[in-house]
A and B are shown apart, each in its own frame.
Chain A
Amino acid sequence: MGSNLMKKIFAKKLGREVKVEEIIYIEPDLVMTHDHQGPMTIREFENIGADSLWNPDKVIFVMDHRTPSQTLVAVENHQKLRKFAKKYGVTKFFDVGEGVCHDLVAEKALVRPEMVYIATDSHTVTEGALGLFATGVGSSEMASIFATGRVWLKIPETIKVTLKGTLQKGVYGKDIALRLLEIIKTGGADYKVLEFGGPGASSVSVASRMSLCNMCLEMGAKTAIFPVDNVTVEYYKEKGVGVQELYPDEDGEYISEIIVDLDQLEPLIAFPFSPDNVRSVSQLGDDVYELNQSVIGTCTGARYEDLKVAADILKGRQVKSGTRMLIVPATKDLMLRCTQEGIIETFLKAGAMVNVPCCGPCGAYGMGVVAEDESTITTGSRNFVARMGAPGAHIYLSNAATAAASAIEGKLTDPRKYL
């Protein structure tokens, strides 16, 4: 039996074949923590009592969750992390305002195909979009990696997801993720790898692949992974980086296969309070789902393609009075590009607010929280109870086009009529 993508990556690194269920010890190529899990990580690192990091060049710090520093505790945590980074020689330090961790490591081409990337964030799986093995751990485990340069992993089983057809207008990676959630449900890929491929993959951009891999975590996946194909090679080429294509063997090892027909896929929305509570925009019916807020932000829908389509929809139109619209570009460089291209101007003229790159309202950290009995649509990845504010607040998850169209009408809206 041949190898799937994950097995190929580990086999190259270890110089031998790996078997499902086997425990391996491995030195990560890169690790990351942020201002949310970082304070606990450095506290535990100090509890270990090691006097140096195993390799400061392989460590990334990102200040993105509680930024711009909203409270005294938050700013003190930022201070502690800056001090720690200085003391232990961490130079890959992205300070307040630079952007969201999962977007930054890709944008700066820090993560590369075939790497093993471990970070203290559940959505680390996002990076699998670029053909690497990326997964999350907790703070104590990261503290241990800081000290030893080693992590143990159990080789998981892999589910193959075959994409057929072509992504249609108004449909994005977010919708593929929601479709999968509808099929296998939260926890449906517990401890497993979701490997993407098939003839439809070439119609899915890196931005969309990232949102898709990101949400595989909501299915319980240990990671998600795309082959390194033409789309990936082009992505790195634009950054001046050459990478090798990487595909699974034809007879790779999979426990099951899911086929998603992109031709048939419509914009989807996850209703409260679970990402797998999915409905299609064309099935909204006569019920009116009024919105107090619309958010385009987070690591699951605030990249260039998202902001661009939102601006195309909002151009010359107005956000409905009574609905607040908040836009948080994923990184500073992206915000600059959008400023230069007039995209930010379009948002402001349409009546939206634009915020500094950060996690934004994703986890109710400070900005854009919603009250009891309010409802919000968001391009984020989670609509759990109280995720964005009051426990009773209704959260709808969608792609950026749907969030923009819904802001114009003040209710859940099919974006395709604006495209």
Chain B
Amino acid sequence: MNKSLNGKVFKFGDDIDTGQIIPGKYVVLTDPDELASHVFEDIAPEFKSKVELGDIIVAGKNFGTGSSREHAPKAIKFSGISAVIAKSFARIFYRNAINIGLFAITLPQVDEFKENDQITINLNEGKVINHTQGKEYEFELPHKVMLDIFAEGGIIPFTKKELNLK
């Protein structure tokens, strides 16, 4: 896959659960743009006005713990975020993220990143470049089965293609 993601960093701590990403009361919604308008509402109300297309979240351990709601990665993706880098992910969040086309990678050195750092994720080489700090990191690409889904734009277009549906 020849792709790179560029943006500035938004930092989050450990154990950010899906309810903090998108509060339970909004889970009745299914429209991704509507969901995005409530992203991080309780814990980072200023996030929405600062995020620009392509920006990247850098978080601590156990990101996306809690419910299986894919409303959480959808709210993040449709706010403009292109990828989440975390020390570790809750299993369903990680799977959901790739399934809806939000890139997710685990990296142990997330503490070295600062808010607003300019970074690039090179999906081809499996590298994260922090331009502000002048550092480079290698990461392990998701398993091929997930990369194939991501390359199609998520599991819905992937399944469409598989079933030869337009």
Which residues of A approach B to under 8 Å, CB–CB? Answer: 23, 36-37, 39-40, 43-44, 47-50, 66, 71, 73-74, 77, 120-122, 124, 136-141, 143-144, 147-148, 152, 154, 186-187, 190-191, 218, 220, 222, 274, 363-365, 382, 384-387, 391
| Interface-facing stretch out of B47-55, B120-128, B157-165 | B157-165
Q: Do the beta carbons of A48 and B66 come within 8 Å of each other?
A: no
Complex A-B, nearest 6 residue pairs according to Cβ-Cβ distance, in ascending order: A138-B70, A138-B96, A187-B62, A144-B159, A73-B28, A122-B68
Residue of A152, A187, A191, A220 most packed against chain B (CB within 10 A): A187
Could you jot down 21 A-B contacts, CB within 8 Å? A23-B145, A36-B69, A39-B30, A40-B30, A40-B70, A44-B156, A48-B160, A48-B163, A49-B166, A74-B28, A138-B92, A139-B70, A140-B99, A140-B100, A143-B156, A186-B62, A274-B15, A363-B19, A364-B25, A384-B17, A385-B43
B154 contacts A by Cβ under 8 Å: yes
Q: Do the beta carbons of A138 and B69 come within 8 Å of each other?
A: yes
Q: Do the beta carbons of A137 and B95 come within 8 Å of each other?
A: yes
Given contacts A220-B62, A382-B66, contact A141 B160 (CB under 8 A): no
Q: Which A residues are CB-close (under 8 A) to B3?
A: none
Task: From the candidates A148, A154, A190, A220, name the one contacting B162 in the complex (CB within 8 A).
Answer: A148
Q: Which B residues are CB-close (under 8 A) to A148?
A: 159, 162-163
Select from chain B the residue with minimum beta-carbon distance to A387.
B19
Given contacts A138-B68, A187-B88, A190-B91, contact A144 B30 (CB under 8 A): no
Q: Which A residues are CB-close (under 8 A) to B156?
A: 44, 47-48, 140, 143-144
Task: From the candidates B24, B91, B99, name the one contacting A365 in the complex (CB within 8 A).
Answer: B24
Q: Please report the C-alpha to C-alpha distance between residue A144 and residue B88 in the assembled complex, in whole angstroms.
A: 26
Task: From the candidates A140, A385, A387, name the one contacting B154 in the complex (CB within 8 A).
Answer: A140
Q: Which B residues are CB-close (under 8 A) to A122?
A: 66-68, 92
B61 contacts A by Cβ under 8 Å: yes
What's the nearest-Cβ distance from chain B to residue A185, in Å? 9
Q: Do the beta carbons of A187 and B30 come within 8 Å of each other?
A: no
Task: From the candidates A40, A47, A141, A363, name the one contacting B67 in the complex (CB within 8 A).
Answer: A363
Q: Which B residues are CB-close (under 8 A) to A136?
A: 68, 92
Select from chain A the residue with minimum beta-carbon distance to B146.
A152
Q: Please report the C-alpha to C-alpha distance between residue A401 and residue B90 in the assembled complex, in whole angstroms.
A: 31
Q: Please report the C-alpha to C-alpha distance between residue A387 and residue B67 in the assembled complex, in whole angstroms.
A: 11
Residue of B23, B71, B99, B162 most packed against chain A (CB within 10 A): B99
Q: Which B residues are CB-close (under 8 A) to A36?
A: 27, 67, 69
B155 contacts A by Cβ under 8 Å: yes
What's the nearest-Cβ distance from chain A to residue B86, in Å? 11
Q: Please report the C-alpha to C-alpha distance between residue A202 and residue B88 in the assembled complex, in whole angstroms.
A: 35
Q: Do the beta carbons of B99 and A138 come within 8 Å of each other?
A: yes
Q: Which A residues are CB-close (under 8 A) to B160?
A: 47-49
Q: Please report the C-alpha to C-alpha distance between residue A139 and residue B156 in the assembled complex, in whole angstroms.
A: 10
Within 8 A of A (CB), among B35-90: 42-43, 61-62, 65-71, 73, 88, 90
Q: Do the beta carbons of A386 and B145 come within 8 Å of each other?
A: no
Task: From the candidates A73, A124, A139, A220, name the one contacting B90 in the complex (CB within 8 A).
Answer: A220
Given contacts A148-B163, A186-B62, contact A66 B28 (CB under 8 A): yes
Q: Do the beta carbons of A140 and B66 come within 8 Å of each other?
A: no
Q: Which B residues are CB-close (under 8 A) to A365?
A: 24-25
Q: Do the beta carbons of A384 and B20 come within 8 Å of each other?
A: yes
Select from chain B the residue with minimum beta-carbon distance to A66.
B28
Task: From the candidates B23, B24, B96, B162, name the one contacting A140 in the complex (CB within 8 A).
Answer: B96
Task: From the candidates B28, B65, B66, B96, name the one contacting A141 in the complex (CB within 8 A).
Answer: B96
Q: Please report the C-alpha to C-alpha distance between residue A385 and residue B99 in the assembled complex, in whole angstroms.
A: 27
Q: Please report the C-alpha to C-alpha distance between residue A289 and residue B102 in the assembled complex, in whole angstroms.
A: 42
What's the nearest-Cβ distance from chain A to residue B19, in Å? 6
Q: Which B residues are CB-close (under 8 A) to A66?
A: 28
Task: From the candidates B15, B145, B165, name the one contacting A50 in the complex (CB within 8 A).
Answer: B165
Q: Do the beta carbons of B165 and A49 come within 8 Å of each other?
A: yes
Q: Do the beta carbons of A140 and B69 come within 8 Å of each other?
A: no
What's the nearest-Cβ distance from chain A to residue B113, in Å? 20
